[in-house]
Each structure stands twice: as C-alpha cells, then as structure tokens.
Structure 1
Amino acid sequence: MDDNRPLLAPDAVWEEDWFALETLDADTLAIGEPLYFQCNWSYLISDGDHSLLFDTGCGQVPISPVVNRHRRAGLKVLPSHMHYDHLGGIGAFDPVIIADLPVLRACVDGEVLVPTEDLFLGTKHGLAVPRISVTEWVKPQSWIDVGTRRLQVLHTPGHSPDSISLWEPARKRLFAADFLYRGALYAQVPGASLRAYYASCQMLLELLPGDAAIFGAHGQPDAQGRSMAPELGMSDLADLAAMLERLVTSPPAEAGEFKVNARMNLAYSPERP
C-alpha cells in the first residue's frame, strides 16, 4: 500500500492503488482518480442488468478492469465531451453512445468519429487522437434508459462546444462533467465560450429543482485533504451564472482567474467571448 496516496472520504475505498470508489447509492458508483493531476471522476450508473458509464477516465491507468468488476451485464459508454482526459479508456468499451451534435457529426470519418485537436486537446501531451466507433447517436433533450432509470441528455456548452450533462429527475441528480465541479473551471480553452456557458447556466437554473445535487468530473481535496466525489448544489450553479453574467456584460481586457465562490474559480480569456 502506498502511504503517499491522498486521504479519501470515509465511505470511499481504493481499488488498484489508483482509483477511488465512492458509492452514491446502491446503483451509482463514482470512480475517481485522485493521483491524476486533474483528479478525474467518472460515473457508473446501473439498474437491473444495465449500466451506463459516463466518461472513461484519463487513461493513465486502464479504467476498464474496475468498471468490469462493478458493471451490470449490459454496459454502454457515453463520454461527456471529447477532451483527452475524459476519453482515456474509451477504446476498451463497446457499445459507445455519442451526443448527436453538428460539431461531432463533422468529425465522422467513414464509420468512426475522429475528434479534431481543438476538441481533443491531447496531442500536445503526446496522446494519439482516438478513433471511436459510434454505436448510437443520442440527440440533446432525449432520454437514455438504464434499466428503469431515465436520464436526460442535456447539451451544456461553455467549457467546450460538445459538452453534455445527464439529468436524472427521479434522484434529483445532474452529472455535469466539466461544466461544474470543485476547483478551477476552464473557460479559456479552445472551443470555450462565455456566452454559451452563461446560456447553459440559465437553462439549468430554470430546469433543475432547488435541491438538485450536481456531480462534476473533477474534484480537488476538501479542507481536510480528503478526496471525494465532487458534489455541488444549486447555489454553486447560481454563483457561476452570476460570475458569467458579469464577465459577459463587462469582459475584462486581460486573461485571468476569477473567484466564483469558496469552491470554484473560473479561468477566463478575452479570446473566448
């Protein structure tokens, strides 16, 4: 056992000395990578004989053995967006569902999806662009059935043009990926848009109830140094919307990082209006 591993929340456990597993409920497993510099979190959503994996890890250590130990018989995979740290293990899975967005349809080469570098951002890190065999395209606002669980696919651009979130009304949970999480939010990378980010915030504030829980794809340790599934709430979403409104209305001339609240900062660039 590596004594240099970070602390975990009391109900989280290590697996393979890399992944932190936290049970959100009997059918929902958060799979974290606290040793990775971006502290990624993916989500395994299950019911009956079915599972859906939302994101496939950073790829530094294969996520598939962990998923295969905890999945149900019928597994589908859905990436939240094409950034490299969310596609690391995608080649090990089939079938793969992809959000039916024009920006992604434009990346289809023959029968496979090959994201552009502006969508992938990984070649500068020495990573090969994946070639993704798409089994099914799902349109924004449509529903995915995982056993008796129903999750709505929401297009939530801002961090990237292809970003999606999953909303589960029955459990009042939004799986928000890179749209909202604890730590530094990126609105300065290629494809980011402050106006789109703000519009997505407004849409979510109108759609979600006030007691919705929001689970993101990254999470810095808490004040006690413990890593845990990055849960936020509607007040955090409202704080982000207020910051984005301020930046859209009066954009600063220089790039910078702005404090949203005690849990989040927003990295901004005037190149991403």
Structure 2
Amino acid sequence: MTSLPKDPWFTITALDKDTYAISEYGHWEKVHSYLILGTERAALIDTGTGIDHMKRVTDQLTSLPIIVLTTHVHWDHIGSHGEYDNIWVHEAEEQWLVQGIPGLSIEQIRHDVSRDITKPLPLDFSAASYEPFRGEPSGLLRDQDPIELGNRQLTVFHTPGHSPGHLSFLDQSRGYLFTGDLLYSDTPIYAFYPTTEPAALVSSLERISDLRGVTKIYGGHNKLGLEPELLVEVRQAVQELRERNCIRHGTGIHNFRGFSVHF
C-alpha cells in the first residue's frame, strides 16, 4: 500500500507493510487498535471506543476475513465489535461481553466516552444514547493459544490484573508484543478499580518482562510503540513493588522509568 487512508476520526499508521495501528487521538484516552495481516486472514486487536465505525477503516486496509481479538472487555476497546462477525475473548470475560460489567453504570460510561474530545465528533454519534457492545463471542481464548493467520502466528498470553481476562499477544515472526492495558506509557496503568487485582497485574508484568525476542511493545493507549528495553525497567519495578510491600488497593500511584501503575 503506497498511501494510507485519510479519516476524519481515526489515524492510521503503518507499523510495517502488513501491520497497522488505528488510533483515536481525538479522545482523551488516545486508544490504539491494531490490524495484523496474514496471507489467509487478518487479526484486529480491539475495536476502539465506538465513537466512529472502525470497519470503514479496516475495509480500506484489507479484503481478508478478520478475526477480532479482544485484549479485555472494557468499553473503550470493544466499541466497534458489533461491526464484525468473528469476535474472540478470554473465557474469564465472556459474561462481561454478554451482560456488561457489574457495577459500572451507563452514566459513568457516557461521561467518559464524551469528555475532553479534541476532534470533531461524527454526526451520528450521541453520548446520550451511547451503549457499550454486548453480544455472544464467536469463541474463547486461553493462555498459549496460537492464532494462525497464514505465514504469521500470534501467541495468546493471559495477563490478568487490569481485568480478569486481560490478554496480550505476541507476533512470533516480528517480535511485536501487543499489551493492551497491561503496559503503556504516559498515564498510569489502572489497577485500583474493584474489578482489578494488583497482585495479578504485577505477576503479569513480570511474565511479559521475561519474554524473549520482543522488538517493539504496542500498548492500548498514549505513545505508539515502546522500545523493548522497557521490559528491563518492568522487571526491576516488579522487584521494587514487592520489596516495598505495596501491591494492594489504596497505595496510590507508583512511578517508574517509562511507566507507572495506580493501585
């Protein structure tokens, strides 16, 4: 592809000729979704906020059948799930996808989806009528599952903490590690909600810090593309958090070089 689609809401970035970031920089969370092309099918990691229609973009980038891989079932990562037929989630969040997250009010979601917008909103978007996607998944993902795309394979890692069924994905051929809301820069990683588990989050961070062959880290928010050296900082942060005995709700924000966490 010689030129990328220009879109009023989404920003499309080619990470290489077969991998794209689809970003929503007009929203305060600066959400990223990722389209990964194989020779037989494509994987779409998350579908963004749902403020605008992601399928409009993916239709311009590929004619391959698309499987949607959900890092976790928070509204800002499943917004366009209803536009795709083949949706997969971790088994621990199947009921969240079907029924919604217990205790999270629609008023809070509508407030969060519509605040601090810096780009013109689509004409058909209304915060007052916004509803997070709900529906049955096509299938369930488990730790270490392979995702075959044809000449390209992703490996599923169950990395809970931010949510019980949070997943990360490693592109084995290129070393891209897609970390969703487990690891990103600029704003704290959230582990202070009742549905989060600080100890599980730290164990998940430790797990990805031990992965070999990672060439780039692609998180779900903020800066697009982090260097693999960050995993060394993650490993040291895990040790420090354990030594300080602060891995529990209510201990606040903990800052490290390149990232922070909020318990």
> Quick check: TM above 0.5?
yes
The verdict on how the C-alpha distance between 1:254 and 1:217 changes in structure 2, with shifts beyond 3 A counting, is closer
Looking at structure 1, the residues matched to 226 and 242 of structure 2 have their Cα atoms a distance apart, in angstroms, of: 23
One-letter amino acid of the counterpart of residue 260, structure 1: F
- TM-score, normalised relative to structure 2: 0.82
Q: Does 1:195 align with 2:199?
A: yes
- TM-score, normalised relative to structure 1: 0.79
Q: Does 1:104 align with 2:108?
A: no
One-letter amino acid of the counterpart of residue 104, structure 1: E
TM-superposed CA distance for 1:13, in Å, is: 6.3
Moved more, 235-244 or 82-91: 235-244
The verdict on how the C-alpha distance between 1:47 and 1:14 changes in structure 2, with shifts beyond 3 A counting, is closer
Match of 1:72 in 2: 63
Tell me how large the CA RMSD over aligned residues is. 2.5
One-letter amino acid of the counterpart of residue 199, structure 1: S
Match of 2:140 in 1: 137
Match of 2:222 in 1: 219
Looking at structure 1, the residues matched to 256 and 106 of structure 2 have their Cα atoms a distance apart, in angstroms, of: 27
> How big is each residue's C-alpha offset from its partner over 1:60-103, in whole Å with a ceiling of 9 and x where there is no partner?
1221111111123211111110011001111111111222x3x2
The verdict on how the C-alpha distance between 1:122 and 1:231 changes in structure 2, with shifts beyond 3 A counting, is farther
Looking at structure 2, the residues matched to 188 and 165 of structure 1 have their Cα atoms a distance apart, in angstroms, of: 20
Match of 2:254 in 1: 258
The verdict on how the C-alpha distance between 1:254 and 1:166 changes in structure 2, with shifts beyond 3 A counting, is closer
The verdict on how the C-alpha distance between 1:121 and 1:194 changes in structure 2, with shifts beyond 3 A counting, is farther
TM-superposed CA distance for 1:186, in Å, is: 1.2
TM-superposed CA distance for 1:208, in Å, is: 2.4
Aligned 1:221-236 pairs, distance under 5 A: 230-236=224-230
TM-superposed CA distance for 1:206, in Å, is: 2.4
The verdict on how the C-alpha distance between 1:265 and 1:67 changes in structure 2, with shifts beyond 3 A counting, is same
Q: Does 1:46 align with 2:37?
A: yes
Looking at structure 1, the residues matched to 197 and 93 of structure 2 have their Cα atoms a distance apart, in angstroms, of: 17
Match of 2:185 in 1: 182
> How big is each residue's C-alpha offset from its partner over 1:176-218, in whole Å with a ceiling of 9 and x where there is no partner?
1111112221121232222112211222222323x53111110
Structure 2 residue runs of 5 or longer lacking an equivalent are 111-129
Q: Does 1:63 align with 2:54?
A: yes
Moved more, 240-249 or 134-143: 240-249
Match of 1:94 in 2: 85
Count of matched residue positions in the alignment of Structure 1 and Structure 2: 240
TM-superposed CA distance for 1:37, in Å, is: 0.5
Match of 2:24 in 1: 33
Q: Secondary structure at the match of 2:194?
A: coil
Q: What's the % identity of the aligned pairs?
A: 26
Looking at structure 1, the residues matched to 212 and 198 of structure 2 have their Cα atoms a distance apart, in angstroms, of: 21
Looking at structure 2, the residues matched to 94 and 247 of structure 1 have their Cα atoms a distance apart, in angstroms, of: 42
Q: Does 1:17 align with 2:8?
A: yes
Match of 1:153 in 2: 156
